[in-house]
Amino acid sequence: MKKILVLLALLVPVCVFAEETVRLDGLMEPEWKDFVPPAYVDVEEPKGLGKLNETAAYWYKRRVEFENGIEECRAKEANDEKLSCYQQLKVLQYQQNSDYNAKIEAQEQARMGPQEMFDRTDTMLPIGGYLNNFTRFQPNEFR
């Protein structure tokens, strides 16, 4: 019994490692988990009140598009074509991620309001401007 357990303990990691290194004629196809936030790796189609969750709906739509792209790449026969297709898919996903991040950052900036409203050194109040100008002059400098 011990021999079987030792043999299984040695073979299972080797099989898992072999699956990851050799895929589809030696080509490494992109994986969805490389492009998505961890919370949305296994996102499913939002239903019911979940339809109000725009973020989950967005990542589900992206996942469907990604899986369709992978299927299109797998359908190509030549390895060069597959490699090129996978590269284009990766570039597209990275571009969509940067667009998404820019959109989220813009929403955060809009929610926060203009930064000068929170700047304590700003002299938006007239009295602050008068005081700053007044303290520049020394009493003997008035002309």
Say which range, 3-7, 18-22, 65-69, 78-82, has the weakest mean pLDDT.
Answer: 18-22
Say which range, 28-37, 64-73, 90-99, 133-142, has the weakest mean pLDDT.
Answer: 133-142
User: Cα separation of 69 and 60, whole Å?
Assistant: 14
pLDDT at 48: 78
**Domain count within the chain:** 1
**Does residue 21 lie in a domain region?**
no
User: Cα separation of 46 and 44, whole Å?
Assistant: 6
**Does residue 125 lie in a domain region?**
no
**Does residue 65 lie in a domain region?**
yes
**Does residue 64 lie in a domain region?**
yes
Domain span at 53:
27-111
In the numeric block, which tokens belong to residue 142? 């008035």
**Does residue 39 lie in a domain region?**
yes
pLDDT at 116: 57
